[in-house]
Structure 1
Amino acid sequence: MAKTNPVEFIQQVGNEASKVTWPTRKETLVTTAMVFVMVIVASLFFLLADQIIRFGVTLILGIGR
């Protein structure tokens, strides 16, 4: 691997950084909203699954009568 001097390295970093495309404000807001929606959906799913499993275990073991 070829070694580069620090000045050339900084120039290469600058060139690569200029190629970065940042999301727009709208894209960021939509993505953030989708993350919150998916967190709520996943939370509700696991709450329901937990309640069903709890009911089944209670029924099988006869606990909590």
Structure 2
Amino acid sequence: MAKVSPGEFVNQVQTEAKKIVWPTGRETMMTGVMVVIMTTLLGLFFFGIDTFFGAIVQWLLGVAAGRA
């Protein structure tokens, strides 16, 4: 790996920074809305799965205790 002087390094960083394309405000807002929607859906899905398996475990424990 070639050694680069601090000045050349700063120039390279500035050159690369100029290539960055930042998202527009609309793109940022849409991405944020999608994140909220997807996390809500996943939260509801896992809540349902957890409730379902919790009920099964409670039923099995009841059967094992002889209360079914």
What is the root-mean-square deviation of aligned Cα atoms in Å? 1.3
Determine the C-alpha separation between the residues in 1 that align with 2:5 and 2:43.
52
Aligned residue pair count: 64
User: Is residue 2:18 matched to residue 1:18?
Assistant: yes
Specify the SS of the correspondent of 1:37.
Answer: helix
Larger RCO of the pair (alpha carbons < 8 Å, separation 6+): 2
Alignment partner, residue 39 of structure 1: 39
TM-score normalised per structure 1: 0.93
Stretches of structure 1 that go unaligned for 5 or more consecutive residues are none
Cα shift at 1:54: 0.8
Determine the C-alpha separation between the residues in 1 that align with 2:16 and 2:36.
32
Identity %: 44
User: Is residue 2:62 matched to residue 1:54?
Assistant: no
TM-score normalised per structure 2: 0.89
- C-alpha deviations, 1:19-62, integer Å up to 9, x for none? 00000000000000000001100110011001100110011110
